[in-house]
Each structure stands twice: as structure tokens, then as C-alpha cells.
Amino acid sequence: MHSAHGAYAPAPSVWEALKQEIKLAAPDMGIDDIGFASADPFVSLRGILQRHRELGYESGFEEPDLDKRVTPALPGTQPASLIAIAVAYPAKMSNPPKSQPGQYRGIMARSAWGRDYHQVLRDAMQRLEAFIRERVPEAVLESMVDTGALSDRAVAERAGIGFSAKNCAIISPKFGSWIYLGEMVTNLPFPPDQPVTEDCGECTRCIDACPTDALVGPGVLNAQRCVSFLTQTKGFLSDEYMRKIGNRLYGCDTCQIVCPKNKGLNWTHHAELQPDPDKAKPLLLPLLDMSNREFKEAFGDTSAAWRGRKPIQRNAVIALGNFKDASAVPKLSEVLLKDPRPELRGTAAWALGRIGGEEALNNLNKGMKSEQDEQVRSMLQQALQQLTPEEAAAGSSAPAEVDGGERTAGQPAAVGEPMGTPVIPAEVLYYDEVQTPIGTLTLVASPAGICLVEFGPFTVKEAVLQQWSRTWAGGAGYERSEEKLSSAVSQLEQYFRGELKEFTLPLDLRGTPFQVQVWTALNDIAHGTVQSYREVAEAIGRPKAVRAVGGANNKNPVPIIVPCHRVIGTDGALVGYGGGVEIKRALLQLEDALPARRGSEA
């Protein structure tokens, strides 16, 4: 390396030169980002970790010695610097297989897609070690990947890989949080890099979307509540956690999916980390028949295998219960009555209670007669208490009961007659997807009517849907049902073909009285016409509430069906729209209602 320097500029040190050489070579080693930091102890981190322990927030998978977690060390010598590496991984799957009745699928977190990331990172670290030792044979180096004593995130943050986010992930300005981290302790005095000064700002989407409220504050995670941790445990889980796990088999990506810093990011340049769709979204029922050998053959090369097959099989049973898959009753009954593992038997009892029906009830009673394990018996009793004789006869299609034995209240409201007060939440919300010229739409209905339309497929919008359910539906779960959404899908298809100008669907709109008043007024804006926010405010008798009307318009839970896209700026500008201005323009073009003067389109 040669460079010219001014009369008073010192020449770069040999360690700075080597650092730059390493950075240039890093991509060829399979490393996407690399940073250098001092090896000083992480003094402030110790207090944070101690407090975390006192509050009971640890997962139990961490290094128990706090001094080792905050003090870099090398055998026989003093550490001089740290090296942090990052490897970017995919966030999206091409043509993911979809669940269908009788063929429901689970989902692995992105950290379990492709080859086990521990091996990928270790290979990269070994190449880095070899590169350094070729130039400095006497170097003392110690690499760590995920299972080392030091905190990966603390090292990465100090080394300038990214900043520590409110969801406790490291967010790289380039790669987002879709990165695996590794670190190396060295006795070589590499000059440190500068930390990233970016942060999350006022955003709290990850905290708001966490399914189990495990993010108890910015940068504070109660691992005992985290779905990612729960899916890796081997014991019994509570009813609350099983419902919120959904169909997750390993890990949870919710807090990363909702993060604005990750929007549009997907990394496909590491072939070994790309997902096999049938392994990333495996069929649930076949998982329950896998032997240990078959499980290792199928998943042994992924990070999901480290805890063995029992947690995955238990989570598959949970998913079948959450899907209310009646076709799974025979297999779940077999698990309940014959599996030697109490955790699987108890979870099968819970799932059968969720699914219901006469066959499930009969097998729960059989299990009650033969079961000896106290915890399993308790779960059997809870499952039986859910199934009244009427529900058992009706099967899983029976209306869902809620606390107190009350049924879902209210009559379906036709379009233009929305409900202002939320109905008593059903145990389940039904959803389906429809393909349209503006992309996939996810439709959600309660027993009373359509209550939500989201731009994007269910898997992408899952966190948003869960948050909406917690706010407006008492945390109700979601079940896919083509039958219950068939009318909505049909009418939307007709609308996009230009064959339908007015929807005739029952609605179950949930919002404040003012919001519902605004949404009702939106239904009076005819197909092919537009109104300004001011005109809507005047129509509801609140001419000074233009800004509040805009806020309510933005929170419309059923766009397109309730036509908030027909509201524009006073000057004709296509101002904000939840689905984006381009979608708003496309809808108005479809209706031949684009204003002659558009103005700014912010």
C-alpha cells in the first residue's frame, strides 16, 4: 500500500495498513462488514446485565459469569483489540408454499433458513484467522460465534457495525438487522473504528408489535416471554404463549419485520443461506411422524436442530391447534394417547381442545382415564372445559365462546352502516388473501363482517395484524378461511375488473366514534368522484376538524371497500395514503377519477 502524505502527516501504522488490507479482503472471505474496536472491558454493560438478571429477564442460554461477558480475554496474553464481523442473510422467500386445509405449514425464523449460520460464520472466521496469521504468524486470536462469552451485540456496536436498536438487535446502516454477528479477540493493536451514531429515533414499532410484550422497554428484552426463546424451550407452555406462538416452529422475526430500517432489504448473495421453501415452511403433520434420525437428516444442517426434535414437534402440535385443523385430530389423538413425552401429550390435549368436535372430545376423555402425569391431566381438564356438548357436536365450525359464555354480539353492518362500538371479540378472526393489480391484499373478517384490509400477504403483515387484534379484538387469533371471505374476494375481483362500483359487504368497523363517523361519510363518496378533507369535515358537521378528518381517514381499517382513496387535497393533490400514493393513483385511474390538477404528491 502506497500513499502520499503532507509534511506533517504521520505515515499510517503497520496495524492501520493491515486493517485496511483486511477490510478490502473481507468480501472474499464471505464477510459483508467488518469493524475494529478496543479490547477494554464493557464496564457499563455489566450493570445492565446484572439488572437484567435481577429482574429475571435472562433466557438461561447466556454465559453465567458476568465478568466473562464484559471482559475480553486471551489465554496467556493481554488482548489488544476486537474484530467484529457481519454476514447478511435473506429476509424474503421466493414462491413460499402456502398452507391449505389439511396441509397446514409451520414457519422457521429467518435465522434457521439455509445452512446453520454458526457454521457459515465459523468458516468465515477461520478464513479471517488464516489471513491474519499469514501476515502475523505470532498473532494470538480467539474467535466466537453466538455461543462465546462476550456479547456479540456489544462488540459489534463498539466496532461500528451498527447501532443497538430498541428491539435489541444491531441495525447496520447498509444491511439493516438481517445480519449474523461474530467476533474475534486479538493481541494485535488494530486502530478502532468509529461507532455508528444513527438510532431508532421516536419509532417504537417493534415494541408495539411484539406478540408477547417481551420488549418491556427500548432495548430491554424479557427473554422469558420472547417467542423466539419460547419456541426453543422443551417444557410445557401456557395457553397464552401457545396461542401467540401461532404457527412458528422456531424463532420469531416480528420485531425485525415491522422495523422501518429493514424496509425493502433482502440479501441473496450467500447461496448457502438461501431457504429451501419446504424446510423453511414445512408441512406440520409429517413433522409429528419423524424419528430422531429423520429429523437430523431433514433439519440437521440448520440452526433449528440444536435443541433437537422435541421443541419443533411440540410447536407443530401448537400450530395445528391454532389452525384448528380438524383433519389433524386423529394424529393429535395418537400423540395424546401414545407419545411417551408428557410435554407432547399435554400440548396435544390443548390442541384438541382448540379444534373441538366429537372425535376430539372422545379422545380427550380417553386420555383423562389413562393419563398419570399431573401436568398433562391438568391440561386435559382445561381442554375438556372448553368443549361443551353443543360445541363438541358442532365441531370446529361452532361459534367461538368468550369469557362468561357470551357469544359474539351485534348484527352484521352493511357498507354505509358501520358499528362504532367494538363487538365482544370472537375467539378467532378469519382471513384470506386476494391477488389484485396493486398486489396481494389480506382480508380479515369477524363473525359480524369485514373488519380489516391490509396491503400485502398475511406473512408479511402478520405483526401488524396481531397488534390490531390486541387493540381491537382482545388478542383474537387468526384462522384462514376461503369460505368466510369468498364474497369479499369475489367483489374485490369484480371491482378491479371494472365490473363493480359499490360494495355490498357486511362490515365490522372498530374505531373511535369520531373515526366511525368519518368512515361512514367516506361511503357517501360515489365511485368516479373525489372529495377534499375539508368537504368530508363539512359533511359530518365538523368544518374545523379538517386535520382530525385526515387522521381518521389514514386509520381506515378497510381501504378500497371504504373508499378513503377518494379523499384528496383541496388543490387536487394526491396527498398521503396508507398503501402509498402510487396505489392511490392506480385506484383513482381505475375509477376514472384522477383530478385534473394533482399538485404535490407527498
C-alpha torsion 447→451→455→459, nearest 10: -40
What span, in angstroms and rounded, lies between the C-alpha atoms of 146 and 72?
15
DSSP state of 9: P
Kindly report the three-state secondary structure assignment for every residue of 59-90. Answer: CCCCCCCHHHHHCCCECCECCCEEEEEEEECC
The interaxial angle of helices 342-355 and 374-386, nearest 10 deg, is 0
Q: Which of 210, 255, 451, 564 is catalytic?
A: 564
State the cell numbers at 82.
476486537
DSSP per-residue string spanning 142-162: EEE-SSSSS-HHHHHHHTTS-
What span, in angstroms and rounded, lies between the C-alpha atoms of 8 and 256?
48
Contact 6, 23 (CB under 8 A): no
Contact 334, 366 (CB under 8 A): no
Q: How far apart are the first and last CA of the chain?
A: 48
Q: How many CB atoms lie within 10 A of CB 148?
A: 18
- Within a 13 Å sphere around the CA of 233, how many CA atoms are in the beta-carbon half? 18
The number of residues in the chain equals: 602
- Reduced to 3 states (helix: H, G, I; strand: E, B; else coil), residue 318 is helix
Residue 14's H or E segment, with its range, is: helix 14-25
Q: Is 210 a catalytic residue?
A: no
**Block residue for cell numbers 475480553:** 72
- Reduced to 3 states (helix: H, G, I; strand: E, B; else coil), residue 492 is helix
What span, in angstroms and rounded, lies between the C-alpha atoms of 213 and 222?
9
What span, in angstroms and rounded, lies between the C-alpha atoms of 5 and 148?
41
Strands 163-164 and 170-171, bridge-based pairing: antiparallel
* CA dihedral (482, 486, 491, 494) positive or negative: positive
What span, in angstroms and rounded, lies between the C-alpha atoms of 501 and 505?
13
What span, in angstroms and rounded, lies between the C-alpha atoms of 581 and 588?
11
What span, in angstroms and rounded, lies between the C-alpha atoms of 406 and 387?
14
Closest by CA position to 69, among listed 44, 33, 86: 44
Closest by CA position to 104, among listed 395, 354, 449: 354
- The string over 327-336, giving b where at least 16 C-beta atoms fall within 10 Å of a residue's C-beta and e elsewhere, is ebbebbbebb
Closest by CA position to 421, among listed 488, 517, 503, 485: 517
Strands 531-532 and 170-171, bridge-based pairing: unpaired
**422 alpha carbon, distance to own chain's centre:** 26
Q: Which residues are catalytic?
A: 564
